[in-house]
């Protein structure tokens, strides 16, 4: 798979996981919808700084953008489910969930 194909596939995958439209991604990144469409159509590859903006919008690192699920190989099914659920939450929902989890910690 060439880099442009992988990047396009990954952007589409992350948008679907998070229920984010290209319009919303454009708003969160400051990247035009046309530029995003061109990346998804594999007409051009983004720069590293553009990819960083995309990663920031999804709440992931550049490494996570390219590694995907490889870092989850040593996790139990339950741990994977929790992380998959987390990945599908928007920023506000993640804040609520982390507050809830912190409230469960015993002191």
Q: pLDDT of 55-87, one tens digit each?
A: 999 888 888 888 766 566 677 888 888 888 887
The pTM (predicted TM-score) of the whole model is 0.65
Whether residues 23 and 50 share a domain: the answer is yes
Report the C-alpha gap between 49 and 69 in whole angstroms: 23
pLDDT at residue 26 tops 80: yes
Whether residues 60 and 79 share a domain: the answer is no
The answer to whether 29 touches 35, Cβ cutoff 8 Å, is no
Q: Total domain count for the chain?
A: 2
Whether residues 11 and 63 share a domain: the answer is yes
* HSE (side-chain half, CA atoms, 13 Å) at 12: 12
Whether residues 9 and 58 share a domain: the answer is yes
The domain in which residue 11 lies consists of: 3-68
Other residues' Cβ atoms within 10 Å of the Cβ of residue 39: 22
């Amino acid at each position: 798979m060439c880099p442009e194909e992988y990047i396009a596939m990954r952007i589409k995958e992350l948008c679907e996981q998070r229920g984010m439209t290209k319009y919303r991604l454009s708003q969160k990144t400051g990247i035009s919808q046309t530029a995003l469409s061109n990346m998804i159509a594999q007409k051009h590859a983004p720069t590293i700084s553009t990819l960083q903006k995309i990663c920031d919008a999804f709440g992931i690192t550049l490494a996570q953008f390219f590694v995907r699920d490889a870092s989850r190989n040593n996790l139990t099914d339950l741990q994977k489910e929790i992380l998959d659920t987390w990945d599908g939450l928007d920023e506000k929902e993640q804040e609520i969930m982390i507050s809830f989890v912190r409230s469960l910690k015993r002191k």
